Amino acid sequence: MKRTKSYLAPTALALAAAIGFSAPVTAAENGKFRVGIVTFLSGAAAGPFGVPSLNGAKLVIDALNEGKVPAPYGLKGINGLEIETVIVDENGGASKQVEEFRNLAERHKVDAVIGYISSGDCLAIAPVAEELKLTTVLFDCGTSRLFEENKAPTYVFRTGLDAAIDNIGAARYLIDTGRKLESVASIQQNYAWGHDSWGDFSAAIKQLKPGVKVTTEQLPKLFQGQYGAEISALSVSKPDVIHSSFWGGDMEAFVLQGNARGLFDKRTAVLTCGESALDRFKGQAPNGLVIGARGPFGAFAPENTLSTWFRTAYRSSAEMDPTYPAFKMAQAILGLKAAVEKAAGKPGVIPAKEEVARSFKGLTFESVSGTVRMARANGHQALQGIAYGEYKFDAKSDKATIANVKSYSGECVTPPDGTSAADWIKAGFPGAQCN
Amino acid sequence: MFKLDKTEIWLVVSALVLVASAFLLPSWLTFILTLALAKGLVVQGVVIQMRAGLVSFGQGLFFCIGGYSVGMGGAFLGIHDAFVLIGLGVAASVGVAAILGLLMTRYRDIFFAMLSLALSMILYGLIVKNQALGSTDGFNVHDVSFLGWMPAGEDQKLVIFVLTVLVAGGIAIALNRYMKSGLGGVNEAIKENEIRVEFLGLSPRWILYANYLFAAGISAVGGAFTALATGHVDPEMAFWTTSGEFVFIALLGGTSHVAAPFIAAVLFALVRTYALELAPHSWQMILGFVLLAIIVFLPKGLWSLVAEKRRAAA
């Protein structure tokens, strides 16, 4: 024991250093615009969100590199430079994502990062992006706390919408379509997303229709998959409306199991993330189920040249319709392109990061979901409307569509700067402009 | 009076080399090393108990307490000094361990493993239900100062790296002394035959209790450094997969030498980050195969490479 010698420690260090220095440090000097794309490639969020968003990213980036995207994005790649991607799996927790984000910034020397579905990851990444001064576009995560915790962002932008909007929009839709709404029940996954969604929805519905009763609040754990007990509890409590922020496999399981047991007969269920399974329900969801797409995305996207092009191209490559995560990813890429090109002035150069940040701030750009204005959080958060509609399956054509769509403008459902969503709802939506 | 043995000289040299290299290595690499060394500290906590025959599947409990103490100290108590925050984490963690240890030391084998896992999952559940702490999303850790000095951005990470290396080095030396002391040797004896140890007039239970407290303390240090480096804490720190990773790294390195957990943690981090780069869609598989290969070919961990060489030389 006394003769113990430890020469492995320095050896390992030398090895680590060697690997480190031999890493490909071919910065953007190769004349390409390098973008890090971070999305779930494994785990439960990969199927419903990660894979569609990556498909969308590949499609848009390939088309941009070939100069095939319709106006105003005809310029090849980003500002005439070919786009090169580094793809990272978002699975593995926030501290690992911070590690990988630093790798993207310093080892891969990317010019920008687009990504992040998990709210926890967004919260962890935002301060690091500011520290490293790296343009970062968050495309999907919905936490209201993003710009509440990071009050003075410079390099962080979010082209996706705040989750509070989903729930304010859902509450308005239920009221405006004149449904029976004496009581409401809730079923959410037991984690931050579920708690926040229900908090916003219950506050909004009570504000819009005082006296609404909450019959039951079910909080099964994430990825539980079997909802027998919860469905019984919901049925027994006899609510007029069931609200759920379930997503992915959990949502599909809940709809299938609930439908088989008649949970959705004679009452309305609203699923804020329902659209991502539009083509997957295959008639096993009840007609009249109210679903949303977390903004004007997917099946709710307005008809315009860009959205028509995107739908057609996506259908021919992935053999299915693009769902909302694909739209949101496309939107983030187009936003970044618009900002870089505005900052550059002339094609063929990569503008300084400060310039990109300055031109992204408050930018208005055309997207697959219509015109997007970066008009909240001091120009760092996109302002867009939201739409809800009813699921409708046509057995003959084996196709699901959305009926009775109602859209709300961004100003109607988004709190003004400086007010948190919770305070805004509590105060009765002051300054909301709804038509 | 304070004579270093060969292992300790090597530890000091390695620590100094790491500190010096902080200014040469690219900052993404120092960041990975910071996290790996912090994780290595928690693994040391697992290894201490493993030597006495107890496998803790819930070391994430103390890792999480250390991390959340740093986060909550800054957010709710207005403490911004790194040393005070780390101290707070250690105090909270050892305090909790002092109570839980009374129960835990009554159990052995799988019962100890399962109970430790259960306790850490209770903490996980409590944090997930707590909206003020951001539930599963966690919350950000405020920037900290070091004895009144507040370096900005990049430098802050460098200081944290240097501090992690120094603290890890110091703890490693302490652990080495403990391992080689008479009491350290008793751990092995407890693992082999607890009743005989009792007949020798020693109380295995209180030795295990001391181990438990010590492991809790250094795990909290690891958690505190992780929180300081990443700038974010979330309940994942107490989740069973995190604890499982610590046990895994412990097995990867082996329990026979104090440097093994650190080396294994660094290797694990590097394999993971390069696997992710090479195969973004199937990096877990690469990781799995590497770990499988080590288990099959080096059942006593990476350290058996060194041990075998030494045996061959003798």
d(CA B122, CA B125): 5
Residue in chain A closest to B32 (alpha carbons) equals A99
pLDDT by residue for chain B (314 residues), tens digit each? 467 788 888 888 888 888 888 888 888 888 999 999 999 999 999 999 998 889 999 999 999 999 999 999 888 888 888 899 999 999 999 999 999 999 998 888 899 999 999 999 999 989 988 888 888 888 888 888 888 788 877 788 888 999 999 999 999 999 988 888 888 888 888 888 888 888 888 888 888 999 999 999 999 999 999 999 998 899 989 999 899 999 989 988 888 888 889 999 999 999 888 888 888 888 888 888 888 888 888 888 888 787 777 777 76
Chain A residues whose CB is inside 8 A of the B13 CB are 10
What's the number of domains chain A is made of?
A: 2
Looking at the structure, tell me whether residues A239 and A379 fall in a common domain: no
pLDDT at B114: 93
Residues of A in contact with B276 (CB under 8 A): 88-89, 100
Are residues B14 and A143, on separate chains, in Cβ contact within 8 Å?
no
| pLDDT band (50, 70, 90) for residue A192 | confident
In the sheet that holds A381-383, the strands lie side by side as A83-89, A33-39, A112-115, A136-138, A156-158, A381-383, A370-376, A364-367
Which of A13, A107, A193 faces B14 most closely, judged by CB atoms? A13
Is residue A95 less than 8 Å (CB to CB) from chain B? yes
Query: Is A281 in the same domain as A307?
Result: no
Q: A16 touching B, CB under 8 A?
A: yes
CB B93 within 8 Å of CB B219: yes
Give the separation between CA A90 and CA A100, rounded to whole angstroms.
9
Q: Is B287 on the interface with A (CB under 8 A)?
A: no
In a domain, A200, yes or no: yes
Q: Work out the pLDDT band at A78, boundaries 50, 70, 90.
A: very high
**Other residues' Cβ atoms within 10 Å of the Cβ of residue A396:** 6
* Closest residue in chain B to residue A106, using alpha carbons only: B28
CA gap A130, A1 in Å, rounded: 49
Can you give the CATH number for the domain in which A371 is found? Answer: 3.40.50.2300
Does A267 lie in the same domain as A219?
yes
Among B133, B232, B256, the strongest candidate for a mutation testing the A interface, having the largest count of A CBs within 10 A, is B232
* Over residues A353-368, mean pLDDT: 93
CB-based contact A33:A81 (threshold 8 Å): yes
Average pLDDT of chain A is: 88
The answer on A287 and A156 residing in a single domain is no
Closest by Cβ to A127, choosing from B14, B140, B270: B140
Pair A318, A280 in one domain? no
Chain A CB within 8 Å of residue B303 CB:
yes
B-facing residues of A in 284-303 (CB < 8 A) are: none
Q: Which residue of A has its CA nearest to B302?
A: A8
- Is A279 in the same domain as A398? yes
Counted across chains A and B, CB pairs separated by less than 8 A come out at 160
Q: How far does B192 lie from chain A, in Å, by closest CA?
A: 19
- Confidence (pTM): 0.87
Cβ contact A102–B27 (<8 Å): yes
In this prediction, residue A281 carries a pLDDT of 86
| Burial (0-12, 13-18, 19+ Cβ within 10 Å), A312 | exposed
Q: Are residues A329 and A420 in the same domain?
A: no
- Residues A242 and A337 grouped into a single domain: no
pLDDT score at A4? 39
Question: Which phi-psi region, left, alpha or beta, contains residue A339 (left: φ > 0; alpha: ψ -120 to 50)?
Answer: alpha
Determine contact, residues A340/A33, Cβ cutoff 8 Å: yes
pLDDT digits (tens, 9 = 90+) for B53-111: 899 999 999 999 999 999 998 888 888 888 999 999 999 999 999 999 999 988 888 99
Residue A126 has pLDDT above 50, yes or no: yes
CA distance A420 to A385: 18
Q: Which domain holds residue A190?
A: 164-300+385-427
Mean pLDDT, rounded, for A321-336: 93
Q: Do residues B207 and B200 make contact, with C-beta atoms less than 8 angstroms apart? A: no
Residue A15 maps to a domain? no
CA–CA distance, B167 with B165 (Å, rounded to integer)? 6
Which tens digits make up the pLDDT trace of A259-305? 999 999 889 999 999 998 888 888 889 999 999 999 999 899 999 99
The share of chain B scoring above pLDDT 90, in percent, equals 37
Residues of chain A contacting residue B136, judged by C-beta atoms under 8 Å apart:
120, 191-193
Of B17, B280, B303, the CB nearest to A89: B280
pLDDT at A29: 65
* Residue A17 included in any domain: no
Q: What is d(CA A113, CA A183) in angstroms, rounded to the nearest whole number?
A: 44
Q: B259 and A95 in contact by Cβ < 8 A?
A: no
| Alpha carbon A317 to chain centroid, angstroms | 22
Strand (E) or helix (H) holding A112:
strand A112-115
Q: What pLDDT score does B2 carry?
A: 66
Instruction: Give residues 194 to 213 of A whose Cβ lies within 8 Å of B.
Output: 195-196, 199
The closest CB to that of A102, out of B7, B28, B277, belongs to B28
Residue with token string 């083509």: A279
CB nearest to A107's CB, from B28, B35, B134:
B28
pLDDT for residue A2: 39
Q: Name, in order, each residue with C-beta under 8 angstroms of A323's C-beta and a sequence gap of 6 or more.
A: A48, A52, A275, A276, A277, A278, A279, A293, A298, A299
| Interface predicted TM-score (ipTM) of this complex, two decimals | 0.86
Q: Which residue reads 């499982």 in tokens?
A: B244
Whether the pLDDT of residue A6 is over 70: the answer is no
Tell me which residue has tokens 């699923």. A271
The answer to whether B136 contacts A143, with C-beta atoms less than 8 Å apart, is no
| Nearest by CB: B10 against A6, A86, A98 | A6
Smallest Cβ distance to A106: which of B26, B270, B303? B26
- A152 and A189, same domain (yes or no): no
Within 26-55 of B, beta carbons closer than 8 Å to A belong to 26-29, 31-33, 35
Segment A213-238 shows an average pLDDT of 92
Strand partners of residue B111: none
Q: Are A301 and A369 in contact (CB under 8 A)?
A: yes
Query: Is it the case that residue A185 has pLDDT exceeding 70?
Result: yes
Is A56 part of any domain?
yes
Flag if B283 and A89 touch (Cβ within 8 Å). Answer: yes
Are the beta carbons of A95 and B230 separated by less than 8 Å? yes
Backbone angles phi, psi at A386, to 5 degrees: -140, 155
Mean pLDDT across A218-240: 92
Query: Do both A263 and A395 map to the same domain?
Result: yes
User: Which pLDDT belongs to residue A432?
Assistant: 87
A103:B273 CB<8 A: yes
The answer as to whether A183 is a domain residue is yes
Residue B280 with chain A: CB contacts under 8 Å: 41, 87-89
A149–chain B Cβ distance below 8 A for any pair: yes
**Residue A306 and residue A411 in one domain:** no
Tell if the CB–CB gap between B29 and A17 is shorter than 8 Å.
Answer: yes
Q: Does A224 touch chain B (CB under 8 A)?
A: no
Number of CB atoms found within 10 A of residue A190's CB: 18
**Nearest CB to B6; choose among A4, A8, A16:** A4
In a shared domain, residues A376 and A395: no
Question: In sequence order, what DSSP letters do the residues of A327-396 get, joined into one string?
Answer: HHHHHHHHHHHHHHHHHHSSTT----HHHHHHHHTT-EEEEBTEEEEEEETTTTEEE--EEEEEEEEETT
Which among A16, A17, A123 has CB closest to B138? A123
Tell if the CB–CB gap between B29 and A20 is shorter than 8 Å: yes
